[in-house]
C-alpha cells in the first residue's frame, strides 16, 4: 500500500475539546422520526498543520451545519410552500432554528444531478428546492418558533438580494443552481457509487453463492482481497459493513437474500451505495487551512441510514499535498463475536479509506459483469 506524508491532520476522536454542538446523535419526533448524526464522537475537531506547528495555536470559527438527505429536502420544499411537516422534521427544524445552525442542500444537489434524466429536470427541481431553502433561511425565526408559521424577515431577504444582486429569492436560487451546475463534475461521484455497488454485490455473492461454507473471517478476507485487487482501494466502511453481513448482523442494513427479486436487490444496492456516500460527504468539507469550518452533521429520516451510521465514527482525517483525504474510521464491534474484534486488531483489514486519490477508475465492464452475475443467481421480478 502506498505511503502518504500528511500535510495536515484533523484530530477528532482524540481531540481535547468537547463539541459545543452535539454530544452524540439525536432523534427528533416519534411518528416519523428524524436523525441528526454525530460521526465525531461528541468532539470538536482540532487541526495540526504548518501554522499550528509554527504558532502552537490556531483559532478559527466552526459553524455547525445539517447536511439534509434528499427526503428531508422534499420536506423543506413542502413546508416552505404551505404544506404540513412531519413531526420529526418539524422538531428538527425547530432545533436548527433555535440553535442557529445552517442546513444545506449539498447532498441533494449531488444525488439529483447524478440521477436526473436530463439537465433541465435537475435545474427545474433544484431551483424550486433552493428557493424553498432560502425562504426558510430568511424567515422570521421568532415567529416560527412561537407559532410554527413561516413568514419572511424583510431584512434577511434584502440581505440575500444585496449579496447576489438579484431581484428576488427565485433569482438567487437560479444563480446558486447555475453555479453548482457549472462547477460540478459527476464522473468522480459516479465512479465511487459504482465502486460501492460492486463491493455490495461482491459481499452478497461471497456470503450466499461463492463461499457459503467458509467462515465469516475467511469470507471477509476474500472480500478485502477483491477490493484491493479489482478496485485498487480499501473501502473502510464497506469492509466493516461486510464483516457484520458475513456474521449475519446486517439484516436491516443490507437485507438481500437468495430469494430477493433482482429489481428489488438492485434498488437496495443503489440506495445503500448512496447512503454510504452520504456518510462520507462531511469529510469532504475539511481542508488544510480553513478560514472557517462548516462542520456537517447528516440529517435524515431514513432509519436504515441512522442504524448504519452507528457502526462508524471518524477518528481523524489526514490530508496530503497531492489532495488526498485519508480518514481513519472507527468501528462499532459490540454486535460481533470476539474473534472479529481480535482479527480487526491484527490488521485483517485497514481502517483507512482513500476518498481523493490518483487511482484509476473502476475497470471497464466490471460493474456490468457483477450485475449480470447477480441476475443469474437471483429470481426475476
- DSSP sequence for 135-168: HHHTB-HHHHHHH----B-HHHHHHHHHHHT-SS
Please count the other Cβ atoms lying within 10 Å of the Cβ belonging to residue 8: 21
Confidence of residue 5 (pLDDT cuts 50, 70, 90): low
If we measure between CA atoms, which residue out of 236, 199, 239 comes closest to residue 352? 236
Residue bearing the bigger pLDDT, 354 or 13: 13
- CA 90/CA 78 separation, integer angstroms: 12
Q: pLDDT at position 2, please?
A: 42
Cβ atoms 60, 287 nearer than 8 A: no
Q: CA angle 252-327-266, nearest 5°? A: 35
* Joined grid coordinates for residue 42: 461528541
Name, in order, each residue with C-beta under 8 angstroms of 278's C-beta and a sequence gap of 6 or more.
67, 69, 107, 298, 300, 305
**pLDDT surpasses 80 at 292:** no
Residues 165-185: b if buried by 16+ CB within 10 A, e if exposed: eeeebebbbbebbeebeeeee
Cβ atoms 224, 342 nearer than 8 A: no
Name, in order, each residue with C-beta under 8 angstroms of 292's C-beta and a sequence gap of 6 or more.
60, 61, 62, 63
Confidence of residue 350 (pLDDT cuts 50, 70, 90): very low
Q: Which residue has the cell 470476539?
A: 338
Q: pLDDT at position 226, please?
A: 93
Average pLDDT, the chain: 88
Q: pLDDT at position 263, please?
A: 93
- CA 107/CA 73 separation, integer angstroms: 10
**pLDDT surpasses 80 at 51:** no
Residue bearing the bigger pLDDT, 205 or 186: 205
- pLDDT, tens digit, for every residue of 77-107? 999 999 988 999 999 999 999 999 999 999 9
Q: pLDDT at position 84, please?
A: 87
| Mean pLDDT, range 15-23, rounded to an integer | 93
Q: pLDDT at position 272, please?
A: 93
- pLDDT, tens digit, for every residue of 201-236? 999 999 999 999 999 999 999 999 999 888 888 788
Q: pLDDT at position 357, please?
A: 42
Please count the other Cβ atoms lying within 10 Å of the Cβ belonging to residue 323: 11
Helices (H), the chain: 50-55, 70-80, 87-98, 106-115, 119-137, 141-147, 154-164, 169-183, 187-205, 216-226, 236-246, 262-280, 303-309, 338-345, 366-377
- pLDDT, tens digit, for every residue of 163-177? 999 999 999 999 999
- pLDDT, tens digit, for every residue of 259-275? 899 999 999 999 999 99
Distances (CA, A) of 94 to 33, 126, 143, 147, 353: 14, 24, 11, 11, 35
Strand, helix or coil for residue 312: strand
Amino acid at each position: 500500500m502506498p505511503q502518504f506524508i500528511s500535510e495536515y491532520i484533523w484530530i477528532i476522536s482524540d481531540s481535547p475539546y468537547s463539541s459545543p454542538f452535539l454530544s452524540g446523535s439525536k432523534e427528533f419526533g416519534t411518528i416519523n422520526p428524524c436523525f441528526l448524526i454525530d460521526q465525531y464522537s461528541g468532539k470538536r475537531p482540532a487541526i495540526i498543520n504548518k501554522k499550528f506547528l509554527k504558532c502552537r495555536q490556531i483559532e478559527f470559527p466552526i459553524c455547525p451545519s445539517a447536511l439534509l438527505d434528499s427526503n428531508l429536502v422534499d420536506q423543506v420544499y413542502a413546508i416552505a410552500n404551505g404544506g404540513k411537516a412531519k413531526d420529526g422534521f418539524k422538531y428538527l427544524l425547530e432545533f436548527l432554528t433555535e440553535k442557529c445552525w445552517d442546513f444545506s442542500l449539498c447532498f441533494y444537489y449531488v444525488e439529483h444531478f447524478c440521477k436526473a434524466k436530463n439537465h433541465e429536470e435537475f435545474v427545474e427541481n433544484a431551483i424550486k428546492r433552493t428557493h424553498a431553502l432560502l425562504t426558510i433561511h430568511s424567515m422570521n425565526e421568532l415567529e416560527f418558533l412561537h407559532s410554527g408559521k413561516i413568514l419572511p424577515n424583510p431584512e434577511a431577504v434584502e440581505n440575500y438580494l444585496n449579496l447576489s444582486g438579484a431581484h428576488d429569492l427565485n433569482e438567487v436560487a437560479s444563480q446558486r443552481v447555475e453555479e453548482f451546475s457549472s462547477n460540478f463534475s459527476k464522473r468522480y461521484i459516479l465512479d465511487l457509487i459504482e465502486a460501492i455497488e460492486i463491493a455490495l454485490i461482491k459481499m452478497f455473492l461471497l456470503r450466499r453463492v461463492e463461499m457459503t461454507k467458509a467462515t465469516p473471517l475467511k469470507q471477509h478476507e476474500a472480500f478485502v482481497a477483491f477490493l484491493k485487487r479489482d478496485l485498487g482501494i480499501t473501502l473502510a466502511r464497506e469492509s466493516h459493513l461486510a464483516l457484520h453481513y458475513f456474521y449475519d448482523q446486517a439484516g436491516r442494513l443490507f437485507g438481500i437474500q437468495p430469494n430477493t427479486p433482482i429489481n428489488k436487490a438492485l434498488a437496495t444496492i443503489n440506495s445503500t451505495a448512496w447512503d454510504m456516500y452520504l456518510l462520507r460527504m462531511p469529510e469532504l468539507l475539511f481542508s488544510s487551512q480553513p478560514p472557517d469550518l462548516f462542520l456537517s452533521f447528516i440529517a435524515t429520516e431514513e432509519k436504515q441510514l441512522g442504524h448504519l451510521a452507528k457502526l462508524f465514527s471518524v477518528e481523524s482525517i489526514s490530508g496530503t499535498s497531492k489532495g488526498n483525504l485519508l480518514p481513519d474510521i472507527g468501528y462499532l464491534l459490540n454486535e460481533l463475536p470476539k474473534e472479529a474484534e481480535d482479527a480487526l486488531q491484527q490488521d485483517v483489514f485497514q481502517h483507512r479509506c482513500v476518498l481523493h486519490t490518483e487511482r484509476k477508475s473502476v475497470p471497464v465492464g466490471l460493474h456490468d459483469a457483477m450485475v449480470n452475475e447477480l441476475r443469474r443467481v437471483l429470481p426475476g421480478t
